Structure 1
Amino acid sequence: MDKKITRTTPRRFVKPALATAVALLIGFGAYSMTFSAEQGQSQTVNLAGLTVSSVVSGEFKNALSVRGQVVPKTTIFLDTVSGGRVEARLIEQGTFVEKGQPLVQLSNTNLQLDVMSREAQVTEQLNFLRNTQMAMTTNALNLERDLLDIELKISHLERKLIQSEALLKKGLVSQEEVDEIRENLQYNRDIHSLTIERQKQENSIRKVQLAQLEDSAEMLQSNLEFARKNLESLQVTAPVSGYLSELDVQVGESKQAGTRLGQIDIPDEYKLSVSLDEFYLNQVSLGMMMEITHGGQTLRAAVTKIDSRVTNAQFQIEAELPAGTQGIKRGQGLDAQLMFSNEQTQATLLPRGAFFSTSGGHWVFVVGNDGKQAQRKTVRLGKKNQHYYEVLSGLAPGDRVITSHYGNFDNAHVLKLSN
């Protein structure tokens, strides 16, 4: 026989309680998700920590703000010619020097001995050349004397032949004596002709040899002068007048040939050297103008040199400063604007700010007319200069834009502004 089991009161309410708990958990989760989504769409931000700028309309100057360093336009380097030991430092760095003024005294024993040896060799060779020239001159004079002797002998024989022929007709001399005189005369005439030909050839050869000897003598003298100049170069002098901006020498140290000792800067001639990011390498050209701020005035200078070698993602450009610019020193830093275009066009302008690093210029937060909230808005920005971005679309003059950093609310679409 079956027995009826009666449920107790606690167990009767367990299942309904569990169902109610599950429903509450689901509802709480849905509420949490909705709340989080709403937080992603809007966010409350303190207005005091924001920078709000107004969009304006004005002339846009397509320029890049840079800072350059003043360097001398012309620099003359001081290098050693032969090298040697530093005996004396005759002037200090930073002094104005005149052309030809002694700066450093070097000594080089080997060079001095070499010059002395060369002088002895040159003297010996020059003496040899002079002796050769003297011998050639003596030979020429001897040949002239031989010609005179032959001509005299011919003259005597001609006279004797005439006399002998007259005596032959009278029978006072034999025919053999007359023939002998005639043969002797002809022989001397032949000798005279050969001697004249020899004289012509020797004169021609002597001219060539004398010219060669003179060239050799000049070359030897030139070599000797060169050696002496090397000796004179042991005293380093200023090649031009200017400021001795560098002088790297100490008494007692040795300098190798070709070592850089220092440099001289030509005064009152300067240029501005500027480092630019490699991004602008294709945008810069020779002749492009720079507006340089100095002493409360703006100087205009043209780009004269572009060094396209990229080092550490940067390259160098140079612009010559106007002659006679006062108050400028080597190494001084100056602010400038590199003008990519000389034309100034009317445009909608947005002041520059830190927002660009977050949005990349693709969107901004625009403050509403009531000033209580800011709406995220898509924009398109163009060129930029020191102060402004060029607005191509999305904003109009009079709009107020948050231009400070968006790092804390970059995922929001609406900002609720509180004081």
Structure 2
Amino acid sequence: MIRDTSAQDQSLSTAGTAAPWKRWLWPALAALVVLLAIGFAIRAWLGASQSFDSARVRIAEVKRGDMVRDIAADGRVIAANNPVLYAISAGTVTLKVVAGDVVKQGQELAVIDSPELRSKLAQEQATLAGLEAEAGRAGLDATLARATAQKETDQATIDRQAASRDLERYQRGFDGGAVPQVDVAKAEDTVKKSEIQLQHARKDATLKAQGADLDARNKRLLADRQRAVVAEVERQVDALTLRAPFDGQVGQVQATQHTNVAINAPILGVVDLSRFEIEIKVPESFARELSLGIPAQLTSGNGQPFPGEISAVSPEVVAGEVNARIRFTDKQPQGLRQSQRMQARVVLDTRRNVIKVERGPFVEQGNGQVYVMDGSTAVRRPVKLGVSSLGEVEILSGLQPGDRVVVSGSDLFGDAERVSVN
């Protein structure tokens, strides 16, 4: 009889079968997460009318802090006093210096030979001599006229005295019965006539003296006028010799030796080496805030700072920029040269504890609207901007610290209220 393996078998209890819902729990949770992610993506896609790559925009965070409003620019060294000397008359120029020569005040730099101007001076001097002679003759005539008038007055005075004595004699004779009444009356008429003649002689003397003085004065005035003309021509002749207006250095020489130059032609320039200024170009948007006396800082090639201040601001705008000049307020670096480069920094003001953000094209392009990031969506929001510097702009309202703003590239969004930035 063959024995089976039943004696070796052991009875095991069978575990209960798991509930069907437990087998689908984890797959369901995974599917829910996927659906939520798809839902959020669809919501963001539906909320934004357009989608842009984040590499095409620049986003900056709004912060709170101090904002220094300054202007930084590359400056060019120029001489504060660098006049150009011109030819006062046409002629042949003879140069006494060359470009780069150090000159002293009053030193001859060039001489212009102008025969025309020298001839004009000789003519005017001759005219002056004639007018001075006429003025002297008029003065002599006035003296003679006064003397003649005085002579006539004296003669009339003597005639009156003689007539008075005759009247007295006739009156005594009439009182003694020796002279008739008619002779006394004639003597009285003679006295009256002499008195009238004396009055007219005195008046004629006054008028003749006034007339003679007036003629002499007119002649003197003509001579004085001609004297002024001669002085002006002499000044022009003297200006044919160009002299250094101050101690300095000869700049560019624009005339050629022993050549004929036209009137008002530039001859050469002189540079004042003791006074230099820095010329900078300022963007038009900052030009209205520049004024004389604003402090500035100038930096030379070795990094040493020098204090300065705005000394001049151009009244015109050229290519969107305004020229300004900065002068040294304390001392200037040694060895400065024309057209040398220096760094300039002009501090307009400092604003404490303001809300600010990095400056970008949105300042000019936004028209009071900026795009603020809400997750991956840029939402258009109105803001009020304050003053701005080269790197930052003040936020007056509409944004808070921590907000993220699209500062560059928002021109791609057009007028969309919401866009997606991936």
TM range (shorter): 0.5 to 0.7
Aligned to 2:144: 138
Aligned to 2:86: 79
The question of 1:90 aligning with 2:96 is answered yes
* Residue from 339, 342, 346 that aligns with 1:338: 346
- The 8 Å contact of residues 64 and 386 in structure 1, kept in 2 or not, is answered as no
Question: Quick one: structure 1 residues 392 and 156, their matched pair in 2 at CA, closer, same or farther if it must change by over 3 Å?
Answer: same
The code of the aligned residue for 1:339 comes to V
CA shift, 1:102, in A, is 1.4
Residue 149 of structure 2 aligns to a residue whose secondary structure is helix
Q: Distance in 1 between matches of 2:238 and 2:278?
A: 37
Aligned to 1:236: 242
The code of the aligned residue for 2:268 comes to G
Residue 329 of structure 1 aligns to a residue whose secondary structure is coil
- What 5-or-longer segments of structure 1 have no aligned partner? 1-40, 43-55, 353-360, 365-374, 396-412, 415-419
Residue 255 of structure 2 aligns to a residue whose secondary structure is coil
Aligned to 2:307: 300
CA shift, 1:70, in A, is 0.8
Aligned to 2:276: 270
Deviations, residues 251-296 of structure 1 (Å, cap 9, x unaligned): 2222333223233333322211112344544565554443221243
CA shift, 1:141, in A, is 0.4
* Residue from 228, 232, 248 that aligns with 2:254: 248
- What 5-or-longer segments of structure 2 have no aligned partner? 1-51, 54-62, 361-369, 405-420
Aligned to 2:165: 159
Question: Quick one: structure 1 residues 346 and 173, their matched pair in 2 at CA, closer, same or farther if it must change by over 3 Å?
Answer: closer
The question of 1:185 aligning with 2:191 is answered yes
Aligned to 1:34: none
Q: Percent identity?
A: 12
Aligned to 2:76: 69
Q: Distance in 1 between matches of 2:179 and 2:389?
A: 130
Question: Quick one: structure 1 residues 342 and 75, their matched pair in 2 at CA, closer, same or farther if it must change by over 3 Å?
Answer: farther
* Residue from 309, 315, 318 that aligns with 2:316: 309
- The 8 Å contact of residues 362 and 378 in structure 1, kept in 2 or not, is answered as yes
- The 8 Å contact of residues 63 and 386 in structure 1, kept in 2 or not, is answered as no
Aligned to 2:228: 222
Q: Which segment is superposed worse, 174-183 or 269-278? A: 174-183
- The 8 Å contact of residues 363 and 376 in structure 1, kept in 2 or not, is answered as no
Question: Quick one: structure 1 residues 156 and 286, their matched pair in 2 at CA, closer, same or farther if it must change by over 3 Å?
Answer: closer
Q: Distance in 1 between matches of 2:291 and 2:160?
A: 91
Q: Distance in 1 between matches of 2:327 and 2:291?
A: 14
Q: Which segment is superposed worse, 104-113 or 239-248? A: 239-248
Aligned to 1:417: none
- The 8 Å contact of residues 379 and 393 in structure 1, kept in 2 or not, is answered as no
Task: Please give the residue correspondences for 1:403-414 in structure 2 after superposition, counting only pairs within 5 Å.
Answer: none
Aligned to 2:297: 291
Task: Please give the residue correspondences for 1:29-108 in structure 2 after superposition, counting only pairs within 5 Å.
Answer: 61-86=68-93, 88-108=94-114
The code of the aligned residue for 2:269 comes to Q
Question: Quick one: structure 1 residues 285 and 170, their matched pair in 2 at CA, closer, same or farther if it must change by over 3 Å?
Answer: closer
Question: Quick one: structure 1 residues 345 and 187, their matched pair in 2 at CA, closer, same or farther if it must change by over 3 Å?
Answer: same
* Residue from 318, 336, 360 that aligns with 2:325: 318
Q: Distance in 1 between matches of 2:273 and 2:133?
A: 51
Aligned to 1:9: none
- The 8 Å contact of residues 308 and 330 in structure 2, kept in 1 or not, is answered as no
Q: TM-score, normalised by structure 2?
A: 0.64
- The 8 Å contact of residues 80 and 277 in structure 2, kept in 1 or not, is answered as yes
Aligned to 1:195: 201
The question of 1:150 aligning with 2:156 is answered yes
Question: Quick one: structure 1 residues 220 and 64, their matched pair in 2 at CA, closer, same or farther if it must change by over 3 Å?
Answer: closer
Aligned to 1:257: 263
- The 8 Å contact of residues 99 and 253 in structure 2, kept in 1 or not, is answered as yes
- The 8 Å contact of residues 96 and 242 in structure 1, kept in 2 or not, is answered as yes
Q: TM-score, normalised by structure 1?
A: 0.65
CA shift, 1:138, in A, is 0.5
Q: Distance in 2 between matches of 1:346 and 1:181?
A: 116
- The 8 Å contact of residues 83 and 234 in structure 1, kept in 2 or not, is answered as no
Q: Distance in 2 between matches of 1:248 and 1:322?
A: 33
Aligned to 2:418: none
Aligned to 2:8: none
Question: Quick one: structure 1 residues 335 and 147, their matched pair in 2 at CA, closer, same or farther if it must change by over 3 Å?
Answer: same
Q: Distance in 2 between matches of 1:113 and 1:238?
A: 26
The code of the aligned residue for 2:332 comes to T
Residue 317 of structure 2 aligns to a residue whose secondary structure is strand
